[in-house]
A = this chain, B = another copy of it.
Amino acid sequence: MLTITFKNQNKHLYEEIYEQIKAQIIGNILKSGEKLPSKRKLSQQLSVSVNTVDSAYGQLVAEGYLEAVPKSGYFVCEIEPYFKRPDEDPGSRITRLEQKMMVDIDFSPNAVDEKLFPYEVFRKEFKTIFTEEEKDLLKLPPAQGSSELREALVDLLYRSRGVKCRSDQIIIGTGTDRMLETLGLIWGKEKLVILENPVYLKAYHIFKQIGNPVNSVDIDGKGIQIEPLKKFKDAAVYVTPSHQFPLGISMPIDRRIKLLNLANHQQSMYIIEDDYDSEFRYNERPLPSLKSIDENDRVIYMGTFSKSVAPSFRISYMVLPEDLKNRYLEIYEGIGSSVSTLEQKLLARFIASGQYEKHLNRMRKIYKEKHDFLNEALKKYQKKIKISGEKAGHHLLVSLKNGLDEDQMIKKALQQGVRVYPASSYFLTGIPDTFRATVILGFGSLSEEAISLGIKRLKIAWDL
């Protein structure tokens, strides 16, 4: 049964109606198939114009919450209860709370330490590149990206990740999210996409948006499970084997080989290997990438410079199997790369000169120090907490055993001016019991002092 109350005088009436109906559909108060009052009836009920109701209903139809059945009325659409809705952004609940608090320590898992950025190196490179003599500086970059950058990547990927590829298999893109979008467009919307659960949620929303059917397979201690994968045919499987996002598990080699064998056996299966932060392993050498042991061209290998250079440079890359590469070129050949020629040249020189790896070594050392510092600070309380995901990347996971749930952990932390992030929001299906009281603590941008202070406050907040 629909109820509308006007609360916010600054909003348009139609917006209020729209938002309240939407909330009631998402909250399952209005059930799938339920008929809404006619526009005329609701407009009389609320004393607003029919046009106002029409705008609200129209928007809800456009967004797929309502269906307009001619001559019959408006009905609530079936919304998959299985997956989270796009509007349930992991951070949104927190953001609202945080507006009222003064948060000065943010354990964001996405932040990087800007003080490490090699400004001087980039300024020098710019000077040599941005001249009248520089070849192709003003030209549309080719669809796959500049050959200079792709060739620098061929060497880098071989040295650092054992990936053997030719530069014509590489596509330069503007970030992992938009590369996933491109994949969705080039393999067509019929392609079934299988995600790990829990998962990098944007991957889910991107493929849903494009219209790809999406399913998920739970991970166990070794990563994505193989048995449940077998029932899917002709699928693309998205995995993060180096450092599962967000749990931090590294997929052992036997699981890797099983996954590749399945793809080889099924032939039409692709594996997307998102190697997003393989650069940041601290206590052991990374396992060889899936791509490095892929003999049958089944693996789409992806990487990004968001964390190793800076998020402001929108540069990432993928190594495509032959068929997908051809498909990409068919579509984008005349359109050109989405990354500017200047930035491709800057990054190419940065890599080819060896400065990138030098910079990376320096960053790895500093992030390891931060990582170890946070890990040690947390270990003092290990009777009351469980720490996981602790071998790599820019965050740790902390589970509490004293009865507080995730929501309480986040709110109590905020009351102390500390922001931590929910692990639950990465689960597509129900949250397993072991993760009911788990939050994510990122350390990329925090100094040791800030980490130390943050943990002291969390001790109070969580009664450690």
**A interface vs B, CB < 8 Å?**
58-59, 62-64, 86-87, 89, 91, 110, 112, 114, 117, 119, 122-123, 126, 130-132, 136-141, 174-175, 177-178, 181, 185, 188-189, 202, 205, 209-211, 268, 306, 310-315, 323, 327, 330-331, 333-343
Contact = CB atoms under 8 A, between A and B. Distances in A.
Contacts of A339: 174, 314, 340
B330 A86 contact: yes
A31 to B, nearest CB: 23
Prevailing SS type, chain A contact patch? loop
Given A89-B333, A174-B174, A311 B119 contact: no
Given A141-B312, A310-B138, A335 B185 contact: no
Given A312-B139, A323-B59, A340-B314, A185 B209 contact: yes
A311 B138 contact: yes
Nearest to A189: B211
Contacts of A314: 141, 336-340
Nearest to A85: B330
A141 B131 CA distance: 27
Nearest to A315: B340
A343 B139 CA distance: 15
A144 to B, nearest CB: 14
7 closest Cβ contacts across the A-B interface? Answer: A312-B341, A140-B311, A138-B310, A174-B338, A177-B335, A138-B312, A114-B138
B210 A185 contact: yes
Given A126-B130, A130-B122, A175 B310 contact: no
Given A114-B138, A123-B130, A313 B342 contact: yes
Contacts of A112: 138
Contacts of A333: 89
Interface centre among A86, A131, A174, A323 (most CB of B within 10 A): A174
B62 A323 contact: yes
A305 B137 CA distance: 15
26 contacts: A63-B327, A86-B330, A89-B334, A91-B334, A114-B138, A117-B138, A119-B132, A136-B312, A138-B310, A138-B312, A139-B312, A140-B306, A141-B314, A174-B174, A174-B338, A175-B335, A202-B335, A210-B210, A211-B211, A313-B341, A313-B342, A314-B336, A314-B339, A315-B340, A339-B340, A340-B343
A390 to B, nearest CB: 25
A268 B62 CA distance: 10
A177 B89 CA distance: 29
Contact of A119 (B62, B131, B327): B131
B313 A336 contact: no
